[in-house]
Structure 1
Amino acid sequence: MATLTKHIQIHFFQPPSISFNFHFCNHRSPSRISASLSFRSPDSRFIEARKLVDDFDPEIPLEKALTPPSSWYIDPSFFALELDRVFYRGWQAVGYVEQLKDAHDFFTGRLGNVEYVVCKDNNRKVRAFHNVCRHHASLLATGCGKKSCFVCPYHGWTYGLDGILLKATRINGIQNFNENDFGLVPLPVAMWGPFVLLNLDGKLSSKLDVDEDKVAREWLGTCADVLRLNGVDASLSYVCRREYTIDCNWKVFCDNYLDGGYHVPYAHKGLASNLNLESYSTELFETVSIQSCKGGGESKGDDYDRLGPEALYAFIYPNFMINRYGPWMDTNLVLPLGPRKCLVVFDYFLEASFKNDDSFIQQSLEDSESVQNEDIILCEGVQKGLESPAYKFGRYAPSVENAMHHFHRLLHRNLTK
């Protein structure tokens, strides 16, 4: 792993005998596929939630600031506002490039009430769509794998990997039906480094061709080069995925990640013994914070050393984390499942020279699993505390929790737009 670059400037801100087949229509452009998108909620729903937003003042200096109130972590109306203002706007990490190596590869996912499918079509173009049949709303695909087309499991409507409706079963006699209007609803998709990104903003659904340099600027701001220089790239080999369903608000997990190593010596004693916590530092960018820490001991030579000489922990607002340490990179994607529940998806990547070292890989994954289980206990405990009448606000530890404060300020900015 490359050494962390120092002195980073701070920056803010669908009977076959009567099926209709449309194979002759392959000349149609996906850009003609349209639908009225309505997963975004009307502002009238958010009157009470907006009042809760005002309980946090982002302009108060860190040293004097109160944390967001507990209502931000438990109130259903606030959660609905977050989905609308935070997750349904802007670029979101949803997967990794290796999931789409070949034509016909696909994967699916869900964010809030948005079901999506990302695929690589016959021409190896990466595309994304709402994963919903235009006939009677059945989900089209589940999981991941390979498909030459998407066939609805409900009534057999069939779509190409370019989103075009190829077959609509048993519609003989239907009137005022234009197949051009019933293709899959597209979503903007982009890639940066090893990651696949989506934008769920309905206003952008017709803009299928994206400028990936512009996407990088919007998603990462000025720190894209810093991440590349520190080994965050597509050269790493994918190892595995681990998923954790946690009984806490999604922000509790993020806050735990962003406390500048504050909790490490108390909750992760095994991890702490391999880090020099006195070297912990944090750098802030527009929508990214980078925490770094040196290894805690002398070189171990040929002995097991998962963390290496320096660890980098990058948080990309609102819910994606990249951890680069030794020969490893793992990512944490935090998906909100409700006010009091989230799903954290861990994907592990490894430098090519280590990919056949089964013992090293197994030991590293066991160590990582131990840390995650310790964090789950912490986060679920915090959620219970947030629901207690004894707690409303907290304070920040100025010397270590500046990245957390930065996260809360970004949230407030989105929630007031």
Structure 2
Amino acid sequence: MAMILKPIGTHLILRRPKYTNPNIHSCKHKHHHRPLTAAFCSIHGPNSSSEDISLHQAQKMVNQFDPKVPIEEAVTPPSSWYKHPSFLELELHRVFYRGWQAVGHIQQIKDPHDFFTGRLGDVEFVVCRDDSGKIHAFHNVCRHHASLLASGSGQKSCFVCPYHAWTYGLDGHLVKATRIMGIQNFNVNEFGLIPIKVATWGPFILLNLDKRISPLREADSDTVADEWLGSCSEILSTNGVDSLLSYVCRREYTIECNWKVFCDNYLDGGYHVPYAHKGLAFGLQLQSYSTTIFENVSIQSCEGGTMERKDEYDRLGSKALYAFVYPNFMINRYGPWMDTNLVLPLGPRKCKVVFDYFIEASRKGTFSAHNLFRNVGQNQEKKRIAMYPNELNLFSPHRRMTKLS
């Protein structure tokens, strides 16, 4: 299922095509399902294969998308949407820098003084837990000469700039500014780290880079759940997506493809599973595969196999749930396991995918390294598969959609 850009008022969002399929449902309210009747979009307007596309032209092309074309007639977005810098710039400012974005998990900062850093588009950030246990997030930039303040992850009692040793507390306040004697009109309270709105939901840490909201105002958990997950937050939590899971490990991959290509692969409704993931297919009852579309989340679910294939059953359990959270976060819950996929754009034709693995706490001491290896191996397959459509994008203006039945 390809992802597309769609303007809503003054906002630009990525929309998923809607399939007319008895196994695919639309859900705007909790537990309310109805078949989808609209499908993808056609392309009109400027030459979509042009290499010279301004930001204004990119916005104009998005505005010309028609989301009501039947799936039987629909095509994917043109290659320029996957490889031109103007579209990436548009996505960053209208998608990634607005609304809640998953950036990590709470076990990365489970103790006071823990911190981790990251990057989203052009924004460098640092997330930490102070002495009192409160979570903070800041732009990872010294207020003096804009040097990168911290790197990696670990524990710190304060942040010391490596350039001129300006020092900040974990609450962001400027503690020490070196050699400023005689500097006039310098107010230390005005030069703390620039905060970013931070919140948690379940095991996940979220940031909101929208400049129109106050980063200092405490984020209400129910409001965050509603804004990030819409009406399906309860469905995820009741299906074992919660903070009780134990963290196992992380794997990161840099892939030479546009970030949307990886998401497209994830959102094809299981179409590729019997061909690309034959081992996984044996452990699932693919005839039960279904997709439900919520406001901000697409949930794919499938019944597991039988005890006749005990190894697969122990790993996958009786049901697998795959949730795509707009615009770039995937939650996979199966058996005692959960893994998450975070797709970060690094450029028009490059992205980083971060896989985090979790297991039910009662199983952590007995989990099978073999099963973990299989999980990692299947995600390496995802990485490999994601690259193929990108090559097609370079040589064809657009591709056809497929109607599942």
Pick aligned residue for 1:383 from 383, 386, 390: 390
Structure 1, residues 254-276: CA drift from partner, whole Å, max 9, x if none? 00000011011111111112111
Equivalent residue, structure 2, for 1:366: 373
Equivalent residue, structure 2, for 1:245: 254
1:101 maps to 2:110: yes
Deviation at 1:325, TM superposition (A): 0.2
Structure 1, residues 219-246: CA drift from partner, whole Å, max 9, x if none? 0000000001100001111000010111
Deviation at 1:67, TM superposition (A): 1.8
TM-score when normalising by structure 2: 0.85
Contact persistence 1:186–1:205 (CA under 8 A): no
C-alpha separation between the residues in 2 aligned to 1:304 and 1:311? 11
Deviation at 1:9, TM superposition (A): 6.5
Structure 1, residues 19-51: CA drift from partner, whole Å, max 9, x if none? xxxxxxxxxxxxxxxxxxxxxxxxx97202113
Equivalent residue, structure 1, for 2:298: 289
C-alpha separation between the residues in 1 aligned to 2:89 and 2:121? 9
Equivalent residue, structure 2, for 1:404: none
Show structure 2 runs of 5+ residues with no match. 1-22, 30-52
State the secondary structure of the residue aligned to 2:194: coil
Equivalent residue, structure 2, for 1:409: none
1:193 aligned partner, one-letter code: G
Pick aligned residue for 1:319 from 323, 328, 341: 328
Pick aligned residue for 1:194 from 183, 186, 203: 203
2:346 aligned partner, one-letter code: L
Equivalent residue, structure 2, for 1:258: 267
1:117 maps to 2:100: no
C-alpha separation between the residues in 1 aligned to 2:393 and 2:24? 37
- Give 1:105-184 correspondences, 5 Å limit: 105-184=114-193
Equivalent residue, structure 1, for 2:404: 399
Equivalent residue, structure 2, for 1:16: none
Equivalent residue, structure 1, for 2:28: 11
C-alpha separation between the residues in 2 aligned to 1:350 and 1:112? 30
C-alpha separation between the residues in 2 aligned to 1:148 and 1:66? 53
State the secondary structure of the residue aligned to 1:321: strand
State the secondary structure of the residue aligned to 1:102: coil
Equivalent residue, structure 2, for 1:223: 232
Equivalent residue, structure 1, for 2:315: 306
C-alpha separation between the residues in 1 aligned to 2:197 and 2:132? 17
Equivalent residue, structure 1, for 2:245: 236
C-alpha separation between the residues in 1 aligned to 2:108 and 2:307? 38
State the secondary structure of the residue aligned to 2:206: strand
* Number of residue pairs matched by the alignment: 360
Contact persistence 2:306–2:313 (CA under 8 A): no
Higher RCO structure (Cα 8 Å, ≥6 apart): 1
C-alpha separation between the residues in 1 aligned to 2:132 and 2:190? 23
Contact persistence 1:242–1:347 (CA under 8 A): yes
C-alpha separation between the residues in 1 aligned to 2:97 and 2:225? 18
State the secondary structure of the residue aligned to 1:278: strand
Equivalent residue, structure 2, for 1:75: 84
State the secondary structure of the residue aligned to 2:87: helix
C-alpha separation between the residues in 2 aligned to 1:275 and 1:386? 31
TM-score when normalising by structure 1: 0.82
> How much identity, in percent, do the aligned residues show?
64
1:126 aligned partner, one-letter code: I
Show structure 1 runs of 5+ residues with no match. 1-5, 13-43, 401-417
Deviation at 1:302, TM superposition (A): 8.0
